[in-house]
A and B are shown apart, each in its own frame.
Chain A
Amino acid sequence: MVAAAGLLLCGFLAAHLLGNLLMFAGGGAFNAYAEALEHNPLLPLAEIGLVALFVLHIILSVRATVINRAARPEGYRVYRGKGARTPGSRTMALTGTLILVFIVVHVATFKFDLGGLKGPDLYGHVLGWFANPWYAAFYVLAVGGVGLHLSHGAQSAIQTFGVSHPRYTPLLKTAGLGFAFLIFLGFASLPVYFGFVQKRQACCTGGAHS
């Protein structure tokens, strides 16, 4: 169930990223996309579904984590293992929590307009936030957390669903890692470009961007 919810969330991430990348196509395209999305009558349904997925994923993964801690009441004085764990797998609870905090901030600022930067268009609204280096840096850190979470999560879900084939499973696992990395790169590209690169260009060439 954690895996099923996680995989569906991955689907959302991919769609969300594609939409967001429209920012590179300029304000017009991005705003038109956001406009169309907001006027889609199915949006509230999708939002409820998304919240439900998150709640399901979080409740079940926290439950599993609690059971797993209880399964070894007294820990090892020395625990080294044999090198199978990865940076992603060690930090699932940490990156998960980071994602949760980020989502709260993200939805509060971009959807409910906490901080009151909402202008006439969403494009300018987002740029306004990315102009704040702390906000942009936190955004990059958080999507780094998403990437790390998925670096373990993607292959973990594949295994949980019982997929195993001598040739295709390693390929799928690599694809999962690639997906995690692409998600990170894609999402991080927005605050890095609009928050740092473009701002510097704007200040140094004297030309404001349109």
Chain B
Amino acid sequence: MNITLKVWRQKNADAPGALVEYNVAGVVPEMSFLEMLDALNERLVAEGQDPVAFDSDCREGICGMCDLVIDGQAHGPDKEATTCQLHMRRYRDGDVVTVEPFRAKAFPIVKDLCVDRSAFDRVQAAGGFVSINTGNAVDGNAILIPHDEAEKAMDAAACIGCGACVAACPNASAMLFVAAKVSQYALLPQGRPEREKRVLAMREAMDQEGFGHCTNEYECEAACPKGIKVSNIARLNREYLRAALTSD
């Protein structure tokens, strides 16, 4: 099939960008969306043109490196799927598809569809860890954790940090990401000793990176490829209130 792409092209962070139209011929349904972009790039390189810059790594939906806003939807039209897991069987011959980068002040565009998501790393570094002495491995049964708590923590830990929540949020807020990271520790005994310090530091870092404020629109949950629930944001708000009221 033939697909017409309107792709955001931008030379660097400061250059103005624009949508550029490309025709991609010979697309087959089995191709992933990224393989279709690969095909476009092979042609562009063969023609001596600058290929479209975009991010990806594992291409199996677990690393969180691929991004893209496709026809106005972060990671494209599928539910709970990353862009690399989107396949061309979703499209029909002659479709026109607009491809843009994740847009947020905190995610500056590097080139074309590549954005710099290191703001997430800095938020994580502000408190998204547990301070422990790495000595001998302790007995796995020394700390008992109820199964349902463990499940909830695992669900939060499923976040791959791709940034789709920020891209989809009308306010470019990072609350779902921070909520997942805060929750995964707050739910487990190992994370509890530092819970106040952690939530205060991560919220502070989040605001400093220039993310917007959450107004509970829930587009983040709808866009999340890992199905992270907004109940985590409620937990984050709870943790934050608790810390703001009790920590010294």
Q: Which residues of A are in contact with B by a Cβ distance under 8 Å?
A: 64, 67-68, 70-85, 89, 92, 152, 155-156, 159-164, 166, 169
* B56: interface (CB < 8 Å): no
Residue contact B19 to A81, C-beta cutoff 8 Å: no
Residue contact A84 to B171, C-beta cutoff 8 Å: no
Chain A at the B interface: SS class: loop
* B4: interface (CB < 8 Å): no
A79–B237 Cα distance when bound, in Å, is 28
Q: How far is the CB of B78 from chain A (nearest CB, A)?
A: 10
Residue contact A81 to B168, C-beta cutoff 8 Å: yes
A71–B71 Cα distance when bound, in Å, is 21
Residue contact B100 to A78, C-beta cutoff 8 Å: yes
Given contacts A71-B106, A71-B171, A76-B100, contact A81 B237 (CB under 8 A): no
A74–B8 Cα distance when bound, in Å, is 12
* B91: interface (CB < 8 Å): no
Given contacts A72-B103, A74-B103, A85-B170, contact A160 B69 (CB under 8 A): no
- Chain A residue numbers with a CB within 8 Å of B222 are 81-84
Q: Which residue of A lies closest to B17 (CB)?
A: A74
Residue contact B237 to A85, C-beta cutoff 8 Å: no
- Chain B residue numbers with a CB within 8 Å of A76 are 69, 72, 100, 103
Q: Which residue of A lies closest to B223 (CB)?
A: A82
A70–B171 Cα distance when bound, in Å, is 9
- Sample 19 A-B pairs with CB under 8 A, ordered by A number: A68-B170, A68-B215, A71-B172, A71-B212, A76-B100, A77-B6, A77-B100, A78-B71, A79-B72, A80-B73, A82-B222, A84-B218, A84-B221, A89-B215, A156-B216, A162-B234, A162-B240, A162-B241, A163-B234
A78–B167 Cα distance when bound, in Å, is 12
Residue contact B72 to A68, C-beta cutoff 8 Å: no
Q: How far is the CB of A162 from chain B (nearest CB, A)?
A: 3
A118–B237 Cα distance when bound, in Å, is 48
Complex partner residue of B105 from A73, A78, A164, CB under 8 angstroms: A73
- Chain A residue numbers with a CB within 8 Å of B71 are 78, 80
Q: Which residues of B are in contact with A by a Cβ distance under 8 Å?
A: 6, 8, 19, 69, 71-73, 79, 98, 100, 103-106, 168, 170-173, 210-219, 221-223, 230-231, 233-241
Q: How far is the CB of B104 from chain A (nearest CB, A)?
A: 6
Q: Which residue of B lies closest to A162 (CB)?
A: B238
- Chain B residue numbers with a CB within 8 Å of A155 are 216
Q: 3 closest pairs, A vs B, by CB?
A: A162-B238, A80-B72, A71-B212
Residue contact B69 to A161, C-beta cutoff 8 Å: no
Q: How far is the CB of A81 from chain B (nearest CB, A)?
A: 5
Residue contact A159 to B106, C-beta cutoff 8 Å: no
Complex partner residue of B73 from A81, A161, A162, CB under 8 angstroms: A81
Complex partner residue of B219 from A70, A84, A152, A163, CB under 8 angstroms: A84
- Chain A residue numbers with a CB within 8 Å of B241 are 161-162
Residue contact B230 to A159, C-beta cutoff 8 Å: yes
- Chain B residue numbers with a CB within 8 Å of A81 are 72-73, 168, 170, 219, 222-223
Q: Which residue of A lies closest to B220 (CB)?
A: A84
- Chain A residue numbers with a CB within 8 Å of B106 are 71
A156–B215 Cα distance when bound, in Å, is 7
- Chain A residue numbers with a CB within 8 Å of B8 are 77
- Chain B residue numbers with a CB within 8 Å of A84 are 217-219, 221-222
